[in-house]
Chain A
Amino acid sequence: MRDWFTLNAQVLYWLLVAPFRGVPVRLGPVFEQMVRIGVQAVPMTALTSLSIGITLAMQGAHELTRMGAASFVPDLVAMTILRELGPLLVGVVVIGRSGSAVTAELGTMKVSEEIEALEVMAIDPMRYLVLPRFVAMLVMLPALTVFGNYIGMAGGWAICHFSLDMETASYIRRLVESSHPMDLYSGMVKSVVFAWLIITISCVYGLGVKGGAEGVGRATTNSVVVSILTMLIADACLTAIFFFGES
């Protein structure tokens, strides 16, 4: 826990303070990490979001048709994906793909003395290793979430169009009319918070590895478990703040 606060403080120093003292954030490694964390996760995000969009629409179609409210299926899909499942599922995808990879990579570097070597070369591992991953995650997870939202709604469209005979135009119109900007914004805020939690937790576990390959394995498992749990708790808290505060 203390390591986690230290890591946050140091990363924020390198991100927000150091650039004004003539030590800019290097963009090369940031882009490299953005490709690994973001671009390479596109296919998996697309598949996950598509299937969840389809599933939601099918569930909705089944129940709502019985009540004679089939035209509300798009509302259901949009609201659920934008507010909740979009950020959450993309978060899970990224934890599985990149959070675990970051922990394993940093952990392996720790046990093979690479981190120590960096420190002895007067290179701060926070700046050299953690900062690019941090920035990349904070940019790419929200971007993936937006992308996943679109794909999920396309999945909903497939069901509405082919099984409920809804016109494409009216599906889109329904989406636009029923969803509020707040739905999107709350989802985006969530995904930024998730990104921050995932990457800091993954890095802390990676840098904290002790004892050989076994330690790396254990740290990776712990990092994934803790990331998912923390993300779910944060999700509940944020939902309470956004949608439960006023009413």
Chain B
Amino acid sequence: MSEPVIEVRDLVRKFGDRTVLNGISFTVEKGDTMIIMGGSGCGKSTLLRHIIGSMMPTSGSIKIFGQETTGMTPQELQKLRLRFGMNFQFGALLQSLTVGENVALPLIENSDVDPEIVDLVVKMKLELVGLTGFEHLKPAEISGGMRKRVGLARAVALDPELLFSDEPTSGLDPIMTAVIDQLTLDLTRKLDMTAVVVSHDMTSAFRIGTKMIMLGAGKKQGRIIAMGTPDEIRNSDNPEVQQFINGRPDGPIPLKLAKEDYIDSLIGHPRMNER
């Protein structure tokens, strides 16, 4: 068996004294579509940031294409980054450039292709995400969902081997969600791209995922509470997983404070009174 595309071992990240990632380990094989699930604020985007090397872990190891990225020099990291694309949660488009220029950016900066070919590729990529004809608008002039799709078009502009996508379908209507899912499926199944997708949307997660992990919240903050194929997750007997994929407000996942804590926090923390 060939070596995994991504291998994360015992990843720990602390912000101050808050442990956001606490011993995460998983692997992603070539051609896999790994779905990362979990409640809001549980550290999904932070996990992606560590894998793409824009944040460094407190401890642990991350290997991409078999190369250890923690402790890499900026030059080595830059070389590695040419092989993957990242679609940010909020698009992260360059506000000073038009939609078309944003998609063209990786091509212009990182390859030697002719301007006409760049033009062509930009048109093709925008067509893929259903945004033909919008190339001359600025990011501020399009909607949030459109910005996200531009971000996806930009992420796949260089036909990367590996795609990271942070909530690519949140804020999109069901039809557009299906289009984006189909695009991810085409890229991974037909072009053998590997993908890591953060998603809250269970329909789309089960549609595109070949492997899933779920991050915990509360006491289990920063740990993987379930991992497996979509079928294994769907049939999991872990109540937290069931609560999450079925979207039930009550269950083991503590979304709200317990009643006593709530009253405490309203009338002021006991320690505050001592001061």
Q: Which of A's residues lie within 8 Å of B, judged by CB?
A: 105, 108-109, 112-114, 116-124, 128
Q: How far is the CB of A49 from chain B (nearest CB, A)?
A: 31
The verdict on B54 contacting chain A, using a C-beta distance below 8 Å, is yes
Q: Contacts A120-B52, A120-B86; is A114 near B93 (CB within 8 Å)?
A: yes
Q: Are B92 and A114 in contact (CB under 8 A)?
A: yes
Give Cα A178–Cα B156 distance, bound, in whole angstroms: 66
Interface mask (B53-65 → A, CB under 8 Å = 1, otherwise 0): 1100000000000
Question: Which residues of chain B have C-beta atoms less than 8 A from A119's C-beta?
Answer: 54, 81
Within B82-118, the residues touching A (CB, 8 Å) are 82, 85-86, 88, 90, 92-96, 105-106, 109-110
Question: Which residues of chain B have C-beta atoms less than 8 A from A120's C-beta?
Answer: 52-54, 81, 86
The verdict on B265 contacting chain A, using a C-beta distance below 8 Å, is no
Q: Are A122 and B52 in contact (CB under 8 A)?
A: no
Q: Are B95 and A121 in contact (CB under 8 A)?
A: no
Q: Are A123 and B90 in contact (CB under 8 A)?
A: no
Q: Contacts A114-B95, A116-B54, A128-B109; is A122 near B90 (CB within 8 Å)?
A: no
| 13 extra interface residue pairs, beta carbon distance < 8 Å, beyond A117-B86, A121-B105, A121-B110 | A112-B92, A113-B88, A113-B90, A114-B95, A116-B54, A116-B88, A118-B94, A119-B54, A121-B81, A121-B85, A121-B154, A122-B81, A122-B109
In the complex, residue of chain B having the shortest beta-carbon distance to the beta carbon of A126? B74
Q: How far is the CB of A145 from chain B (nearest CB, A)?
A: 28
Q: Are A121 and B94 in contact (CB under 8 A)?
A: no
Which of these, A112, A114, A117, A123, contacts B109 with CB under 8 Å?
A123
Q: Which 6 A-B pairs have the closest CB atoms?
A: A117-B92, A113-B92, A122-B81, A123-B109, A120-B86, A122-B78
**Would you mind naming 11 contact pairs between A and B with Cβ atoms under 8 Å apart?**
A109-B95, A112-B92, A113-B92, A116-B54, A117-B92, A117-B94, A120-B53, A121-B86, A121-B105, A121-B106, A128-B109
Q: Interface residue count for B (Cβ, 8 Å)?
A: 21
Q: Are B86 and A112 in contact (CB under 8 A)?
A: no
Chief secondary structure at chain A's binding surface: helix
Give Cα A223–Cα B65 distance, bound, in whole angstroms: 42
Give Cα A116–Cα B77 distance, bound, in whole angstroms: 13
Give Cα A105–Cα B94 distance, bound, in whole angstroms: 11
Q: Contacts A109-B94, A117-B92; is A123 near B106 (CB within 8 Å)?
A: yes
Q: Are B110 and A122 in contact (CB under 8 A)?
A: yes
Question: Which residues of chain A have C-beta atoms less than 8 A from B88's C-beta?
Answer: 113, 116-117
In the complex, residue of chain A having the shortest beta-carbon distance to the beta carbon of B80? A122
The residue in A112, A118, A124, A128 that gathers the most chain B C-beta atoms within 10 A of its C-beta is A112
Q: Contacts A117-B88, A120-B81; is A112 near B54 (CB within 8 Å)?
A: no
Question: Which residues of chain A have C-beta atoms less than 8 A from B93's C-beta?
Answer: 114, 117
Give Cα A128–Cα B154 distance, bound, in whole angstroms: 17
In the complex, residue of chain B having the shortest beta-carbon distance to the beta carbon of A121? B106
Give Cα A124–Cα B86 distance, bound, in whole angstroms: 16
Question: Which residues of chain A have C-beta atoms less than 8 A from B109's C-beta?
Answer: 121-123, 128
Question: Which residues of chain A have C-beta atoms less than 8 A from B110's C-beta?
Answer: 121-123
Question: Which residues of chain B have C-beta atoms less than 8 A from A108's C-beta?
Answer: 95
